[in-house]
């Protein structure tokens, strides 16, 4: 990890597709007010994949659900703003949001089995989505459905369009889900653990497909995963979350080669792929605290070997996009 730090690629000038500022999600409970997402902000440009990585309970899916308007009550957006192509969407009515989903925001979930209706032919599921958002004749819709299946790599799409979901393998089903998410040509795709249920060889295929479609269509993709290996293969930028906050954000190559936040460094070091040949793995002591019992100061300080007195008192500094990549009082410099 001593390679020179390459400067982050210059962001394209046009406005980002998705822009999140200071987003906070709250869940009121009987005992306390929990904040699964706490002051998170990032942008995703057209044709860019932002990987959001974190362990279970870090708030990565909750942030995705806040963007797509799918927070389960009593969880609610308590602060900040979300802009899609410059327009605020966090204040839209549920009805407006419902129309936006599918049209402007496509979604891909972990389990392709539960994202498809098992009783409806996949062609009908695709044309239903197209009719809901686009003005098409039935014949046009069907032709577009075949084209959509071909685009995601379903062999003999024209003859398989009348198949039911159970007639496809897991990997093929996830391709159908991707075709469905892209049917109305959304500007933003939220992919929540899209490859976690798949075998490694199929995972590589699905990642390659997502990357190709993102480039070709100029979509913004939010790729939510617990697997830093998927981020390395797929994403352009990465946002690391810990206990509801953004710990570090930057270009993937920079963050992987020279992590600044001690949590990012620990996460990378504890992956078995980083200690080939070593007898023991590097480990981060302890576990992420539950949201109801966050320590004062920086939430990571009880597990952090660099923690100083200030970390126990003051919450970590907010990430300002321009300077410092890591929300940390004692960031690692240049690489460690």
Partner 1 sequence: MSYVSVSNLTRRFDVSKPWLDRLIARRGKSYLTAVDDISFEIEPNTTYGLVGESGSGKSTIGKLLVGLLRPSAGTIRIGGSDDIAGRNDIQMIFQNPYASMNPRWRIRDIIAEPVAVLGGETRGLAEGLLEQVGLSAGDAAKFPHEFSGGQRQRIAIARALSSRPRLIVCDEPTSALDVSVQAQVLNLMSDLKDELGLTYLFISHDLTVVRHMADRVGVLYLGRLVEEAETQTLFDAPRHPYTRMLIDVAPRLDAPGDDPTPPDGEIASPIDRPPGCAYNPRCPIREDICLRETPALREAGAGRVACHLAPPGSGG
Which residues contact partner 1 by CB under 8 A? 55-56, 169-172, 199-205, 207-208, 211, 226-230, 232-233, 252-253, 256-257, 266-268, 270-276, 278-285, 287-288
Nearer to partner 1, 79 or 170 (CB): 170
Closest CA to 9 of 214, 252, 291: 252
Buried b (16+ CB within 10 A) or exposed e, 205-242: bbbebbbebbeebebbbbbbbbbbebbbbbbbbbbbbb
Taking the least distance from each CB to partner 1, the nearer of 12 and 309 is 12
User: Tokens 């730090």 — which residue?
Assistant: 5
Q: Which is nearer to partner 1, 98 or 215 (CB)?
A: 215
* Burial class of residue 166, CB neighbours in 10 A (0-12, 13-18, 19+): exposed
For partner 1, the closer of residues 134 and 253 by Cβ is 253
| Least Cβ distance, residue 202 to partner 1 (angstroms) | 6
User: What number of residues does the chain have?
Assistant: 336
Contact residues for 309 (Cβ-Cβ < 8 A; gap 6+):
none
**Is there a contact between 89 and 69 (Cβ–Cβ < 8 Å)?**
yes
CB of 253 to partner 1, least distance (A): 4
Q: Is 103 exposed, middle or buried (0-12, 13-18, 19+ CB in 10 A)?
A: middle
33-44, strands of its sheet edge to edge = 33-44, 18-28, 76-84, 87-88
Instruction: Return d(Cα 170, Cα 173) in angstroms, integer.
Output: 5
User: In the complex, what is the shortest distance from the CB of residue 226 to partner 1, in angstroms, rounded to a whole number?
Assistant: 6
CB of 130 to partner 1, least distance (A): 27
Identity of the residue, 150 or 227, whose beta carbon is nearer to partner 1 in the bound complex? 227
**Between 135 and 283, CB nearer to partner 1:** 283
Residue whose CB is less far from partner 1, 142 or 237? 237
Q: At closest approach, how far in Å is the CB of 8 from partner 1?
A: 13
CB of 46 to partner 1, least distance (A): 19
C-beta of 219 vs 232, nearer to partner 1: 232
Q: How far is the CB of 168 from partner 1 (least distance, A)?
A: 10
CA distance 55 to 267: 9
Q: Tokens for 194, please give them.
A: 């899209």
Minimum CB–partner distance for residue 64 and partner 1 (Å)? 18
Rounded to an integer, what distance in angstroms lies between the CA atom of residue 287 and that of residue 123? 45
Which residue is it, tokens 């930028």?
237
SS3 99: helix
């Amino acid at each position: 990890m001593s390679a020179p730090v390459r400067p982050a690629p210059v962001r394209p000038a046009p406005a980002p597709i998705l822009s999140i500022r200071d987003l906070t999600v709250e869940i009121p409970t009987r005992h306390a007010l929990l904040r699964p997402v706490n002051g998170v902000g990032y942008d995703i440009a057209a044709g860019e994949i932002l990987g959001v990585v974190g362990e279970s309970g870090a708030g990565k899916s909750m942030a995705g659900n806040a963007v797509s308007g799918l927070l389960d009550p009593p969880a609610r957006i308590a602060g900040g703003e979300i802009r899609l192509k410059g327009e605020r969407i966090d204040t839209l009515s549920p009805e407006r949001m419902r129309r936006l989903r599918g049209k402007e925001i496509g979604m891909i979930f972990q389990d392709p089995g539960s994202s498809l209706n098992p009783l409806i032919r996949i062609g009908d599921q695709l044309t239903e989505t197209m009719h809901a958002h686009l003005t098409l004749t039935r014949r046009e819709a069907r032709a577009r459905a075949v084209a959509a299946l071909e685009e995601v790599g379903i062999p003999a799409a024209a003859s398989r369009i009348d198949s039911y979901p159970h007639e496809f393998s897991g990997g093929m089903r996830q391709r159908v889900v991707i075709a469905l998410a892209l049917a109305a040509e959304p500007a933003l795709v939220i992919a929540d653990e899209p490859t976690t249920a798949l075998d490694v060889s199929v995972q590589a295929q699905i990642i390659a497909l997502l990357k190709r479609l993102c480039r070709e269509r100029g979509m913004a993709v939010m790729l939510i995963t617990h697997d830093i290996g998927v981020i390395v293969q797929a994403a352009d930028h990465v946002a690391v979350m810990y206990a509801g906050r953004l710990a570090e954000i930057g270009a993937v190559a920079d963050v992987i080669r020279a992590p600044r936040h001690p949590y990012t460094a620990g996460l990378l070091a504890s992956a078995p792929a980083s200690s080939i040949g070593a007898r023991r793995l590097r480990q981060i002591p302890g576990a992420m605290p539950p949201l109801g019992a966050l320590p004062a100061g920086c939430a990571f300080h009880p597990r952090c070997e660099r923690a100083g007195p200030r970390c126990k008192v003051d919450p970590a500094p907010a990430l300002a996009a321009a300077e410092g990549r890591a929300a940390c009082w004692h960031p690692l410099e240049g690489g460690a």
